Every structure is written in C-alpha cells, then in structure tokens.
Structure 1
Amino acid sequence: MAHDFSGFDFIIQPGWNNSGPEHWQSHWQQLLGAQRVANHEWHAPQLDDWLAALDAAVDAATQPVVVIAHSLGCATVAHYAARYGNKLAGALLVAPADVERASAPAQLQPFAPLPQVALPFATRVVASDSDPFSLPLRSARMAALWQAPLVWLRGAGHINVASGHTQWQAGLAELAALLSAIRAAQQAA
C-alpha cells in the first residue's frame, strides 16, 4: 500500500551516536527527502546544542514539520516542546530511551529529567516490549506524559539495526497514521 507523505517537511532526529547508514532513519531520510539534524557532538551530547540544532532544522523548513526521532532523539523532542512550544506539526517517537533509568550512561545525564509535559503537537510513540534501554512500564509512562498514542512492537529490541530494523517498511505505516491524524486535525480546525 502506497502512503501519502506529501505536504510535510521531515526532520530526522537520531539518538546518541547518530544513526548509521543501515539504520532505518538513514533509509527513511533518503526515501522522504528528509533533513537530518546536524548535531555537532553525537558521542557526548549536550542538551542545549541538540535543541539549537533541531530548532535550526525546524526554522529552515518550508512546510509543516514532522520530526522522526529515535532513542535519545525522543527525549530531545520532549525538551524541545518544553522550551519552544508548538513549532511542529507532529513527531514520531520511536524506542524512546529512558534517560532517567539507574543504568543510563553518564553521557545521557544532560537529558534527565524529562519534562513532565504533554506535547502540544500530534505525536505517536512506537516502543518495544524488549527494549534494553527502556522497560515497558517506563515507555508507557513517557507516552502517557506526552499524551501520545502508544504502539507496541513485540520482541523488537531497541528498534535499530541490531534488532533487524534496517529499512523498516512496517514503520512507514506508523508515520502514515501520524500524518493522517495531523491532516484530520488540520481539517477540523
């Protein structure tokens, strides 16, 4: 089934250490003609730098913006909403990393705690029940905080290359569902 991805500018917000060439975000970047956030430091991320880079990408867009985030990128989007408000049309948040977990690497500490705020734009969270970086209860809590629908993938790990998610064609249906929700809200307004 063909999906309609027209009418939006897509921004890829990778997580810690960026997304490599085989990662689904890299494939989607090519497929969607998306812009990847140009973070200066992928290995020792600083929240202010990541927010500034995301904001620069949003400001460069010419159509309503949908951010496609993975892992630490999801926390980035939550902080972005808390700081900048409603500048996005929507966000697809995939495998949100629990930056507040006791075992979180020190490099992720600048992103904790997560803002306790509903996201002011259409959001869809896709999480795995076997994600090593976020227990199901924590993923569910993040989706509830963000007031976003939550889609569970069974046994999908961190929804990355290591768990077999390279082109991740099935994920495009989740993006299409988000876009349908955005379009419906725009028509109702």
Structure 2
Amino acid sequence: MKRSVTVVSAGLRLPSSTRMLADRLADATRRDLERQGAQIDVDVVEVRDHAHDLVSHLTTGYPSDGLRRASETVAKADGLIAVTPTFTASYSGLFKMFFDSLDDTALVGKPVLIAATGGTGRHSLVLEHALRPMFAYLRAVVVPTAVFAATQEWGGGDSQEPLARRIERAADELAGEVRRRESPEIRDPYCDPVPFEQLLEGR
C-alpha cells in the first residue's frame, strides 16, 4: 500500500534547526511505515518559500499556484508533521498564516505530529498551550507525543539521547495512526457542477 506524509516546516533561516527536526521526524516515520510494508512518499512544504504568497492570499482571497499546490499536498496527505520555531511563547506568525490559508476541512481526521524548536527547554510548553489547541480546533488527530528540541540538544553525545527517544516514539505513534486509516478522499468542487438552468431558476 502506498501512503503519503507531508512535512510543514516553518523555519526561517538556512540551515534551520526547525527543518533538521522535521527531517528527523519524517525519516523516523518513513522507517516505521516501511517496516510494516508500506511504500511512502514524503513531501516537504517550506513555509518560508510561500511567505509573500500567504500575505497576498490572506488579503485578496486568491492563492498563487504554488500556495494552492502546497495546500493540496497537505489535504491529500495520509499524515502530517508540523514543525515551528518558537516566537514569543507561541508558534511563528508565518506558521499560523499557512494553516489559516487552508480549507476549513483540510485537516479533519488527519493524523498530525506536532513539534517545535526553541532556545531553551522553557519554551516547550508551546506544544501544549499553542499547537495542540490549534490543531484540535482544526479537528485533526494529534498524536500523544509532541517533540520539542532546544538548542543544546543539537550538541551531540548524551544530550541528544532524550530527543532521539522522543522522535522515535512520536514517529511510531504517527505511523500507527496512518496505518489504521484510509487515505483521504479529496472532492473536486468542479466534478459535479450545478446545471446552468438551475442557476437561472435560482435553485
């Protein structure tokens, strides 16, 4: 069976610790699903690449082709990994703008793994106080383990072991949710148009 996982990374710099964490979560999820015999496609949406298009879309209501493709990639995915840097004790504005731009039903019933990066472990509450409530509002299925990576956890050695364990546990939970669900069916709004005669009649 072929399944797909989409990664939304809202890092701003290159290289980005947010993207590094996103890639590790995606690799762990891929390994877990492949061990179960699934074929996996992993797509990455770098939110920074759509920054100008997001502002235009939210002010005009018309998405660019690139932003529309990114939104469709998220909607069609069997599972989602969403990773943001921590700004002022919350997710980044760019991260929020991307999810504000999605269709209201794009994440309904979709398994989501939430993660964040920040300067110190004190920022880890962003996961439970900001990200989890937002995705609950969007009616996504957020896996129990959320992953926060502080700057010192990228230093290697013993400091990376707790992070590695959290990544593996969260990836296993996401893979389990993806395995037990059917792939989402995306309805084409143009596949069943209202006949012109009915439109003229006001029905």
Provide the TM-score with structure 2 as the length reference: 0.46
Structure having the higher helix fraction is 2
Higher CA-based Rg: 2
